[in-house]
Amino acid sequence: MRKKVTVVGAGNVGASCALWLAAKEIADIVVVDIVEGVPQGKGLDLLQSGPVEGFDCQITGANDYAPTENSDVVVITAGFPRKPGMSRDDLLMANYDIVKNATEQVAKHSPNAILIIVTNPLDAMCWTAKHVSGFPRNRVIGMAGILDTARYRTFLATELGVSVESIQALVLGGHGDTMVPLIRLTSVSGIPLTELLPKERIDAIVDRTRNGGAEIVKYLKTGSAYYAPAASAIEMVESILKDKKKVLPCAAYLEGEYGYNGLFVGVPVKLGASGIEKIYEVQLTSEEKAMLDKSAAAVQDLITVIQQKTAN
């Protein structure tokens, strides 16, 4: 029997997730959205590209969660996108309600699913999904570090004139301006980055990485990035459903790792059939740890706001 993946949200990110999933023939796909006709239409359109692209999988669009029953993985992309001048944090309470409702439905229809959260502000939405679902921490994972690392690798490859595949890099922390690219562990086929670029160029690329999402929002004006976020989420789905055990930077719920408790923070994890199978604790320098502390504090601030507003 084929695996089943549900994508919640049929906007640009959700539709792109469905496209990557179909192209890789990873699973049958259900796309859910509250807007009548949109998931059905996009699902049918994508299904009809199968004969051309040579993939065989079922693609269903729905406005309710009944067809999602017993999904293996659920990718939650639904939410309001960022607009120019808007921070991820501005989205907080609006998207809290969306993720809360979606998670309740997912937990009801697919109690054994692994949740991958893409909705911003990412780390706080992961906390929401775990809090609402009651799922164990290995089954609630945030897509952030893969995207941030991909942006970092892209900018470095462009700067150096080399293949993106030659760049090894790791970005930790929250998905936002406080992310922590580990320059010390960045290399080009094993050659330390610091031997190839001067500090000022590395600093400029790190800064561009931190503002990578905002740069795209500025260009698009009416939306935010979707191709790379979707591709990043599907790399996670593929590692889980194929039990590839890739080590990827993801938002994971920490219970003492790195000195944090009860927070989702971007760290390297092993992704396999049961979701997060291992959290890797990288030995950080005092400067790196200070930056990660700042990132974790920013996540905690958002969760505190949610707790205060939902307690009233």
pLDDT in tens, 174-214: 887 889 999 999 999 999 999 999 999 999 999 999 999 99
- Any domain includes 18: yes
- Any domain includes 153: no
Catalytic residue of the set 42, 151, 175, 210: 175
DSSP codes joined into one string, the chain? ---EEEEE--SHHHHHHHHHHHHHT-SEEEEE-SSTTHHHHHHHHHHTTHHHHT----EEEESSSGGGTT-SEEEE--SPPP-TT--GGGGHHHHHHHHHHHHHHHHHH-TTPEEEE-SSSHHHHHHHHHHHH---GGGEEE--HHHHHHHHHHHHHHHHTS-GGGEE--EES-SSTT-EE-GGG-EETTEEGGGTS-HHHHHHHHHHHHTHHHHHHHHHSS----HHHHHHHHHHHHHHHTT--EEEEEEEEEESGGG-EEEEEEEEEEEETTEEEEE------HHHHHHHHHHHHHHHHHHHHHHHHHH-
- Any domain includes 54: yes
- Any domain includes 308: no
224, pLDDT greater than 70 = yes
| Strand pairing class (275-279; 261-272) | antiparallel
- Any domain includes 19: yes
Residue-wise pLDDT tens digits, 299-309: 999 999 999 88
Contact 142, 126 (CB under 8 A): yes
The pLDDT, as a whole number, for residue 89 is 67
The pLDDT, as a whole number, for residue 232 is 98
- Any domain includes 271: no
State the average pLDDT for the chain. 95
Which is nearest to 116 in space by CA: 245, 248, 6?
6
Mean pLDDT of 102-128: 97
The pLDDT, as a whole number, for residue 312 is 66
- Any domain includes 194: no
Nearest-5° angle of CA 237, CA 76, CA 216?
A: 90
The pLDDT, as a whole number, for residue 104 is 98
CA distance 29 to 47: 10
Which is nearest to 239 in space by CA: 125, 119, 116, 153?
116
Mean pLDDT of 230-254: 98
121: preceding bond cis by omega (within 30 degrees): yes
Domain that holds residue 137: 4-142
Contact 115, 264 (CB under 8 A): no
* Number of domains the chain is built from: 1
Is 175 catalytic? The answer is yes
Residue-wise pLDDT tens digits, 37-91: 999 999 999 999 999 999 999 999 999 999 999 999 999 999 987 677 766 667 7
- Output the domain CATH number for residue 97: 3.40.50.720
- Any domain includes 44: yes
